[in-house]
Structure 1
Amino acid sequence: MTRLIVAAGGGGDAVAAAMLHVALYGGEDRAVILTYAWDRLLIDPLPGPRRPSDFTGLERLTPTVWSVSAQTRPIEPAGSTLPRLAAELPATFALLDPHQGAVGLTRQLESLVDHVQPASIDLLDVGGDILARGDEPTLKSPLADALTLAACCQMNEPVRLLVAGPGLDGELPPEAMTSTLGPVVRKLTAEDTAAISTVLEWHPSEATGLLAATARGIRGTCEIRDAGLPVLLTDESPAVHEADLDDALSRNRLARAITATASLDEAEAYSREVCGYSEIDYERNKARRLNEHRPTNLDPAAIRTQLAQFEAEARTRGSTHTTFRRITEALSLSGAQRDELRQLLVASHPKQYEAPLWRVTDEA
């Protein structure tokens, strides 16, 4: 029996899908996870999502859908976490290509469903920004989720929309989703995170990292992203809610606007019109800034001094935890240095590592 899970935003949603497959279905059925190759600039220096032509070693599942294997490699300078996920997790990772817009995504979904004949189809979003209207001031990355929502709503097959960890992506506060979220289908536990425990050690996703952290019992306020957005880690954070797919589409103005789009450029234009911006434009601008910034070598003594200052300032903001992405950017390091930084800090201050987060503390 096959379970199909569509990772709404790509990146960390694909990791969360692997965890959820075990939590909801026991991990005995075959998992097919359909996801974008869109890892943002910490992993991939190129803005936007990758196409199948950006990889070598893909395996064709259908005329429009390719799967990623452990032997797949992104063509430089592109980067992707998907080959490593395929190597470490017992799931089939199939590639969503949004470059033909929502119309193309719908074709891919229908083709894959015809091929694998899944017993169930879940559309998973970690954080809940798939429920956004489009005008919320805290919304940062609506396009990927809107595209998958628009595509799933065009299918003739039943699709269940799941929102895990409401508010954990820092885009919509949990209270903004209260009227839209349906029943809790699973409260994730530490045992549920075992399926992805090794992945959490290296994968840069913040929202899925926070979801796993709260499932492990971590509570407090965590700073995320380059802007240091505060995210509350509460007893409600590890919940997985069902939400009505049609209600989500009715609420999401961007998803409704892009339903008939046949290219990513067209969908981007609607994002600028509906939301006032495109998240890929943000990535383009940030990539230019990063290209102008020369990464410095990691100096352990200098890092510890800078970290102590960052932690002191974070505590004054009321933070108890932060992510390694946040520390990497706060210390003006490159995304390629994130793992080296994590290893350095964990080795020198192991008690502050509450996997996969870093605890801000007064301890020496």
Structure 2
Amino acid sequence: MKRLLIAAGGGGDPITAALLHAALYGADAPALVLTYAWERLVVDPVPGPRRATDFTGTEPVAPGVALVTPATAPVAPAGSLLPRLARDLRPRLGLLDPYGGTRGLARQIEAAARWCRADRIDLVDVGGDIVARGDEPTLRSPLGDALAAAACAATGLPTTVHVAGPGLDNEVPLPDLLPRLGEPAFALDAAHTETVSGVFDWHPSEAGALLVAAARGVRGVCGTRDAPRPVLLDDAARQVHRLTLDRVLALSPLARALAGCASLEEAEDASRAVCGFSEIARERHRAAHPERPPGPRPAPHRPAPDAASLTDRFAAWERDALAQGIAYATTRRITEDLDLTGPQARILLAGLRTAGPVRHVPPLWRLAAP
């Protein structure tokens, strides 16, 4: 028997699901994490989620259920970090394909449950947008979470929803979010993070990194790249809230609107009706009009990275960040704010690491006053 967990939103949510699996059942308990291959344009320049046919080397184990392995690879021009996650995380990873809407997802989840011999589901969300009303001005990516909730309901399997790190995704304001979540069920600590400790050396997920940092005792204001405002890491940021699926459906108009949905296009229509936007349409627009080309930063016609100049650039950026009250920063925030290529980022961060623990507070970076 394997535990069946579903990472509600894609991107870094499989990491949080693996973290929650270790906290709930023990890191060595057999488990399958179903997740979307739906990643930021900086990782996958093709808008929207990927499906199994967008990969080579997946492992089919049940009708509509394909596992991602370290040998799996996305078909160009798509990109994905899931094969590398499959190498670094202990639970097996399986693909959720939302192109058949809620109905298609429900069939996949049912098939996965039979393969796992699981009689219940743990649905995992980091941040809390799974309980969004849809009218929050900071809401950016509710569709995957709402589809997962609606699909779990359609299976009829008992489902527990776990919201970890309330507010860390910066989508639903905390004063609105916390009353919806109720009292926390438990708190994560440093021991729970051991199984994902090396992932954030290379994975850009910011909400996941913030959750790990909070569990390890980091406290203070952290600047992220993919959020409208800094995030406060306090004791509440390491809490996990447990909700019934009925409670989530009562809170989420979008999840209710997706009941019976038979395609991703129908799901987009429901999102426009409830939330006023389609996040896939937004991705299409950003891909067509990028602030910078998505994907790995190229370095044509640039001089060789110079450690001293990189340090000077970082110092100027750091002074500005400190003036804004920011005490910590994610790797992604530093890399993208400074517009660093891969080699430049490696040189700068290696230099910061040699400054000792005062700088590197894995997976975050502590800013230091001059």
Q: TM-score normalised by the shorter chain: which range applies?
A: over 0.9
- Structure 2 match to 1:328: 335
Give the alignment of 1:167-178 within 5 angstroms.
Answer: 167-178=167-178
User: Judging changes above 3 Å, is the alpha-carbon distance between structure 1 residues 281 and 326 closer, same or farther for their aligned structure 2 residues?
Assistant: farther
Q: Which amino acid aligns with 2:325?
A: G
- Structure 1 match to 2:96: 96
| Cα displacement (A) at 1:200 | 2.1
- Structure 2 match to 1:217: 217
Give the alignment of 1:344-363 within 5 angstroms.
Answer: 344-347=350-353, 349-350=355-356, 351-363=358-370
Pick from 311, 316, 326 the counterpart of residue 318 of structure 2. Answer: 311
- Render the CA deviation track for 1:194-237: whole Å, top value 9, x for unaligned: 11111122111111100000000000111112455211100111
Q: Any stretches of 5+ residues in structure 1 without a counterpart?
A: none
How far apart, in 1, do the equivalents of 2:323 and 2:268 lie? 38
Q: Any stretches of 5+ residues in structure 2 without a counterpart?
A: none
User: Judging changes above 3 Å, is the alpha-carbon distance between structure 1 residues 264 and 340 closer, same or farther for their aligned structure 2 residues?
Assistant: farther
Give the alignment of 1:7-26 within 5 angstroms.
Answer: 7-26=7-26
How far apart, in 1, do the equivalents of 2:16 and 2:270 lie? 28
User: Judging changes above 3 Å, is the alpha-carbon distance between structure 1 residues 279 and 221 closer, same or farther for their aligned structure 2 residues?
Assistant: same
- Structure 2 match to 1:3: 3
Instruction: Out of 71-80 and 226-235, give the one that drifted further.
Output: 226-235
Q: Is the 8 A contact 1:102 1:260 kept in 2?
A: yes
TM-score, with structure 1 as normaliser = 0.93
Give the alignment of 1:1-364 within 5 angstroms.
Answer: 1-226=1-226, 229-288=229-288, 289=290, 290-291=292-293, 295-296=298-299, 297=302, 298-333=305-340, 340=346, 343-347=349-353, 349-350=355-356, 351-363=358-370
Matched pairs, number? 362
Instruction: Out of 274-283 and 70-79, give the one that drifted further.
Output: 274-283
User: Judging changes above 3 Å, is the alpha-carbon distance between structure 1 residues 272 and 191 closer, same or farther for their aligned structure 2 residues?
Assistant: same
SS at match of 2:24: helix
- Render the CA deviation track for 1:227-259: whole Å, top value 9, x for unaligned: 552111001111111012112112211112222
- Render the CA deviation track for 1:134-179: whole Å, top value 9, x for unaligned: 0001111111111111111212110000000000111112321222
SS at match of 2:123: strand
Q: CA RMSD in A?
A: 2.2
Q: Which amino acid aligns with 1:203?
A: H
SS at match of 1:66: strand
- Render the CA deviation track for 1:4-34: whole Å, top value 9, x for unaligned: 1100001211011111111111124211100
| Cα displacement (A) at 1:127 | 0.4
Over 6 Å off, 4+ runs: none
Q: Is the 8 A contact 2:126 2:169 kept in 1?
A: yes
User: Judging changes above 3 Å, is the alpha-carbon distance between structure 1 residues 197 and 227 closer, same or farther for their aligned structure 2 residues?
Assistant: closer
Instruction: Out of 346-355 and 216-225, give the one that drifted further.
Output: 346-355
How far apart, in 2, do the equivalents of 1:80 and 1:93 lie? 13
Instruction: Out of 117-126 and 29-38, give the one that drifted further.
Output: 117-126
Q: Is the 8 A contact 1:186 1:241 kept in 2?
A: yes
SS at match of 1:43: coil
| Cα displacement (A) at 1:183 | 4.2
User: Judging changes above 3 Å, is the alpha-carbon distance between structure 1 residues 7 and 345 closer, same or farther for their aligned structure 2 residues?
Assistant: farther
- Render the CA deviation track for 1:308-333: whole Å, top value 9, x for unaligned: 22222211221111111122221234
Instruction: Out of 136-145 and 349-358, give the one that drifted further.
Output: 349-358
| Cα displacement (A) at 1:295 | 4.4
Q: Is the 8 A contact 1:324 1:338 kept in 2?
A: no
Aligned-residue sequence identity (percent) comes to 48
Q: Is the 8 A contact 2:139 2:171 kept in 1?
A: yes
TM-score, with structure 2 as normaliser = 0.91
Q: Is the 8 A contact 1:226 1:330 kept in 2?
A: no
User: Judging changes above 3 Å, is the alpha-carbon distance between structure 1 residues 256 and 292 closer, same or farther for their aligned structure 2 residues?
Assistant: closer
| Cα displacement (A) at 1:346 | 3.4
How far apart, in 2, do the equivalents of 1:114 and 1:227 lie? 38
Instruction: Out of 185-194 and 288-297, give the one that drifted further.
Output: 288-297
Q: Which amino acid aligns with 1:211?
A: L
